[in-house]
Amino acid sequence: MKHWLYLLVGIFSPTLAASELPLNMTQGVTEISNQVYDLHMTILLICCVIGLIVFGLMFYSMLNHRKSKGAVPAQFHESTKVEIIWTLIPFLILVGMAVPATSTLIAMEDTSDADITVMVTGSQWKWHYKYFNEEIEFFSILSTPRDQIDNKAPKDANYLLEVDKPLVLPINKKVRFLVTSEDVIHSWWVPAFAVKKDANPGFINEAWTKIDKPGTYRGQCAELCGKDHGFMPIVVEAMPEAEFDAWIAGQKQAATEAAAQAEASLSQTLTMDELMAQGEQVYMARCAACHQPNGAGLPGVFPGLLKSPIIQGPVGDHLDIVINGKPGTAMQAFAKQLTAQEIAAVVTYERNAWGNDTGDVVQAADVSNFEK
């Protein structure tokens, strides 16, 4: 018997030693996530105990009640008493599980008296955050370079779990999320907060959290939302209140500066090369997911841009579809997502890249005039 034990320890010790391997649910950094973790561990334990008893009896029977050992079958095949016992005992165990589950659930659904409200909007395939009481809003997009996904460059530690602009939240404050979507159903999930809420187009859902520790917390979209469902991560930066206030102030200033810069860009005239360089950047970040890095699109799903009617046609139509989107398709309106400068650059790029050769140069002022 003893050498079996050694063998078991031998088999499992490497796994136990490799504790950095993620094998269990995260405990998270909120009171709720800790409660959920405890609930998970309790139920897991109960299941393991029941499993050990049931499987233990089965194995005992398999080892000792074999025909080869001369077992003679018993005749019993019915007992109402036993049936009632094994209906009642599981029922009582279940009641025991339901009690803590109910209290945790009630706490999770209580979104009242929040200190901060953030609107979270999913769209194919990015998240948008808007602070309800401040004039701050931004998109948060996967920042892992294409080369890493295509195995052309070594992958970073936070491969696929990094974004250009994380959501910033203060610690020790009750933060309420209003979750919704622009197109299909997404689901906003940060395991460390035990928050997972579907983003349903046309409807809002509420969730809340109160973070205990400063840090960077990562999550992913949890509802299949199309081609790049696996590529729309969530990153939350949690910081002490003073730092958070400073960040808010910094964001407001940056917004003012950006507005001034956008205004200034209207009077600038960039060269073709400058526009192409900037346009390529914008294209890869915003357009390549659907229209593909080489502009070929995916036949039957996303139209290609190589010598397409829009590319060959007047600049105005091209600007229209980029600025206002195309209803009933996945093509979004980029008027509010990109600056006039960026739209000018990306339209110039599309009209002159991958063998497109219209020679058209679009400036920020053209975009601004078109929008009027």
Partner 1 sequence: MSQSTQNRKLIGLLLLGAVGMFGFGFALVPLYDVLCDALGINGKTNETAVTYKPMEVDTSRLVSVEFVAMVPGKMPWEFGPEVKRMQVHPGELIRTKFLATNNTGATMVGQAIPSVSPGTGAAYFNKTECFCFNQQTLMAHASAELPLIFYVDPDLPEEINTLTLSYTLFDITVQMDSTGGSEQVKQDNQKTTKHSDFTARYSLGGGNAEQGVAR
Partner 2 sequence: MNTTTQDTDATLDPVSHDDHHHDGPPKGIMRWILTTNHKDIGTLYLWFSFIMFLIGGAMALVIRAELFQPGLQLVDPNFFNQMTTVHGLIMVFGAVMPAFTGLANWMIPLMIGAPDMALPRMNNWSFWILPFAFFILLSSLFMEGGGPNFGWTFYAPLSTTYGPDSTALFVFSVHIMGISSIMGAINVIVTIVNMRAPGMTWMKLPLFVWTWLITAFLLIMVMPVLAGVVTMVLTDKYFATSFFDAAGGGDPVMFQHIFWFFGHPEVYIMILPSFGIVSSIVPAFSRKKLFGYSSMVYATASIAILSFLVWAHHMFTTGMPLAGELFFMYCTMLIAVPTGVKIFNWVATMWRGALTFETPMLFSLAFIILFTIGGFSGLMLAITPADFQYHDTYFVVAHFHYVLVSGAVFSIMAAAYYWLPKWTGHMYNDTLSKWHFWCSLISVNVLFFPMHFVGLAGMPRRIPDYALQFADINQIVSIGGFAFGLSQLLFLAVVIKCIRGGEAAEAKPWEGAEGLEWEVPSPAPYHTFSTPPEVK
Q: Which residues bind partner 1 (CB under 8 A)?
A: 109-114, 117, 119, 121, 123, 132-133, 178, 180, 182-183, 200-206, 323-328, 331-337, 371
Whichever of 138 and 189 has its CB closer to partner 2, that residue is 189
User: Could you tell me the end-to-end alpha-carbon distance of the chain, in angstroms, rounded to an integer?
Assistant: 85
Residue 228 touches which of partner 2, partner 1, none (CB < 5 to 8 A by kind)? partner 2
Question: What's the number of CA atoms in the CB half-sphere (13 Å) around residue 339?
Answer: 19
Could you give the CA distance from residue 91 to residue 168 in angstroms, rounded to a whole number? 45
Whichever of 31 and 183 has its CB closer to partner 1, that residue is 183
CB of residue 295 to partner 2, shortest distance in Å: 16
CB of residue 306 to partner 2, shortest distance in Å: 16
Mark residues 95-114: x for contact with partner 2 by CB under 8 A, - for none: --xx--xx-xxx-xx-----
Residue 358 touches which of partner 2, partner 1, none (CB < 5 to 8 A by kind)? none
Residue 117 touches which of partner 2, partner 1, none (CB < 5 to 8 A by kind)? partner 1
CA distance to 253, 263, 264, 275, per residue, from 258 (Å) = 9, 9, 10, 18
Q: Which residue from 216, 220, 308, 337 is in contact with partner 2, where contact means CB under 8 A? A: 220
Helix (H) or strand (E) holding 341: helix 340-352
Could you give the CA distance from residue 234 to residue 193 in angstroms, rounded to a whole number? 12
Mark residues 145-174: x for contact with partner 2 by CB under 8 A, - for none: ---xxxx---x-xxxxx-------------
SS3 342: helix
Please give the residues from 49 up to 78 whose contact with partner 2 meets the rule CB under 8 A.
50-51, 54-55, 57-58, 61-62, 65-68, 71-78
Whichever of 162 and 182 has its CB closer to partner 1, that residue is 182
Determine if 12 is a binding residue for partner 2 (CB under 8 A).
no
Helix (H) or strand (E) holding 311: helix 309-312
Q: Side chain identity at 227, as an amino acid letter?
A: K
Please give the size of the binding site for partner 2, defined by CB under 8 A.
Answer: 99
CB of residue 329 to partner 1, shortest distance in Å: 9
Whichever of 10 and 14 has its CB closer to partner 2, that residue is 14
Residue 182 touches which of partner 1, partner 2, none (CB < 5 to 8 A by kind)? partner 1
Whichever of 215 and 240 has its CB closer to partner 2, that residue is 215
CB of residue 253 to partner 2, shortest distance in Å: 34
Q: Please state at what angle helix 364-371 crosses helix 315-324, rounded to 10 degrees.
A: 70
* Residue 168 CB neighbour total at 10 angstroms: 19
Whichever of 201 and 214 has its CB closer to partner 2, that residue is 201
Determine if 7 is a binding residue for partner 2 (CB under 8 A).
no
Could you give the CA distance from residue 138 to residue 63 in angstroms, rounded to a whole number? 65
What does residue 198 show for φ and ψ, rounded to 5 degrees? -70, 145
Task: Write the burial class of residue 30 (CB in 10 Å: 0-12 exposed, 13-18 middle, 19+ buried).
Answer: buried
Which residues, other chains included, contact 165 with Cβ-Cβ below 8 Å and sequence gap of 6+?
138, 139, 140, 141
User: Which residue from 18, 337, 329, 293 is spatially nearest to 147, judged by alpha carbons?
Assistant: 293
Determine if 308 is a binding residue for partner 2 (CB under 8 A).
no
Residue 337 touches which of partner 1, partner 2, none (CB < 5 to 8 A by kind)? partner 1
Helix (H) or strand (E) holding 57: helix 31-64
Mark residues 318-357: x for contact with partner 2 by CB under 8 A, - for none: ----------x-x---------------------------
CA distance to 36, 38, 91, 331, per residue, from 94 (Å) = 17, 16, 5, 49
Residue 223 touches which of partner 1, partner 2, none (CB < 5 to 8 A by kind)? partner 2
